[in-house]
Structure 1
Amino acid sequence: MQRFAFTSPQSHRSGNVLVLSAASLVAVFGFAAFVVDIGFITLTRAELGTVADAAALAATIELPDGFTGTSWNTVTTNAKTAAQATAAANVGGGLNSVYLDTNRDIRFGNHSYDAATGQWVTTWGTAPFNIAEATLHRDQAGSVAGDQPLDLFFAPIIGHNRASVSMTARAALLPAVGIKKIPGKNLGVLPITLDISSWNALMAGNGSDLYSYNSETGAITQGSDGVKEVDLYPLSNTTTTAGNRGTVDFGSADNSTADISRQILYGLNDADLAALDGEINWSQGSFVLNGDTGLSAGIKDELVTIKGQPRMIPLFTSVSGPGNNAMYTITKIVGIRILHVQLTGKSKKVLVQPASIVEPGAIYGPTTVTSGTVFTPGVIVN
């Protein structure tokens, strides 16, 4: 009698379930790898992006010193140190400290407006520097410094052990075409004006170099520092009018010596700027300021008090009328630092040198970057 062997359908179904379960597990692990590891990569990119912003901004804080005679090598070294310290103080990519290589990860350039093309142009490696770029790496294979690729969680199950990430940020001090008062802070504009031709000559390298300013200590000493000086007290009346030596009225047209003294020491307040609608903007063309009685021994002590401190002054293209009736046509505001004051005796002088200033109320616009430029605080310009 012939016998037949029968295979239970249930055993086939069990085998199929095992195969399907194994395949499903692979899919589940793959999905978990995608969700968890992509989330980790995305988080790391966000962390490194934020830290790169902070590092670039920290570097820009050091850049104004380069406009005051400090060598750009010293300035960029200090800026790199600031960027590195800022990065190290933050977490990212699963590490308690973000690594920044000062020789590789940060560079500096000049960021200014090109009138010929109508574009903002960055030239890397060319001073004067007003822009910093920081790049944070997690993509350096074999490194153990903190810039190595990210170790993934689930992806190794499907053959992907690491992921490479890097983020770059740029921050710049933007040149201003106007300034406005912000709440709680006066504008450090002196009520003393200089003719623009003398300023242009200073920018061209003409002038004395009798005093030195140390940006690290704030000390002023006799001797050259490589930054030329100009005298705010004119040698003749060729650029000012009879009875006036370059002082102007912000606010009331009949400011007293007390008003001038206050403005020298503490800057312009809301009342001083009311007639100018709270801001001074030279991108819209020139504006007119009334002349005052002039530079005299009555404000000597105030000028001596602010020696070495950055301040701003208006530049004029023309003046008409005598004394308090003088009218100055103002076209620009620039940054200066007073180095020497002598307003008694025959040899009267108020020597200043250009000093780039970071002004919280600065209004940026299309202009070039030079010594004496008024800048905005650092802003991200990616």
Structure 2
Amino acid sequence: MPKLPNWLTDSLVLQRERQLWRQTKVLAAPQNTQMSLAGETYLSFCSNDYLGLADHPALKQALAEGALRYGAGSGSSHLVSGHLDIHDQLEQALAQWLGVERVLLFSTGYMANLAVISALGGKDCPILQDKLNHASLIDGAQLSQAPWRRYLHGNVDSAAKMMARMEQLGLLVTDGVFSMDGDIAPLSELVVLADQEHWMTMVDDAHGLGCLGDQGQGSLSLAGLKADAVTLLVGTFGKAFGTAGAFVACSQEMAEYLTQFARPYIYTTAMAPAMAAATLASLELICSAEGDQRRQRLSNNIALFKQSLPTQGVTLMASDTAIQPIVIGDSGRAMAVSAFLQQQGILCTAIRPPTVPAGSARLRITLSADHTQEDIVLLCRKLADAIDYTSGGE
């Protein structure tokens, strides 16, 4: 193959030197709390499968039956011939669940965010975002070529000041649950601000839907708001739903606008119909008594983790969600803590810059409804050992 340019190979060397090297782990088991890696079994605390649905029998059955009925792929985009009746059923069920007029399906959450922000943002519509918003939201603003700014994390006063300095009405964008910190946006206050200033609002609740609020309706529900309190609500299926894909919930008119102008929607093959069938089964579980039980187990596990965590040498961020980050600081040490835990049979990924700010490398511990109390107590004990070991303790 042709020789690569020097700047490319130099970048790879620098990435290693900075302890920022990324690589893929090849797993050989279903996505659950016990994972098989290179022939060894590990207790996992790094999956976003918060409710433990990814390996649920009902979802696997629905996926299999969906594939037998509809085949493996959808064949084309939603606007050509890829929108099947199972997609339509899922959209309608999601709309009814959230109490909105329309839902549009997307292949990934990243694509949904790119689609919405790039379609709405422009010279006539500036974008205002939380400083810690997900990369897909930031990339959407850059792709839109709109004037855009980021307010201080979770700071409504900062958002208001920046909004007042912008000459045009625009789009206020925030995560519901922040993926690396686990905290929740001040949604009630942000919605009031946007309504007062006549701005549109967009909430990406990838990590809240399914887990929080009434019937798992997410961060907005937890804040006492309905989904139609915001202009656009984005959700993903790859977290609590246990499947894959994403959706945008909005008004009928906004859905029509996105259908005409959101390029990632127009030009992307629709999600596999079997995946839509599995996601419909997941939604039914999330809304059921079993869903309530799983959310309660998850809540109990979060409380147990925070109670059992060692107090010495551990900085736990202010989170009451399934995402429980422990800030280590130095990237090399974060990698060492993660490696120590893996040697002890526990998978917990180290998150490093630029995913998080410089000097705030961390373990992003994620809890599941399927973790047992014994799992969590073991994690906390081994975590104390890891912190002590990497700090030079005996």
TM-score (norm 1): 0.24
TM-score (norm 2): 0.24
- Asked which structure has the greater CA Rg, the reply is 1
Higher helix share: 2
Q: Which has the higher contact order (CA 8 A, sep 6+)?
A: 2
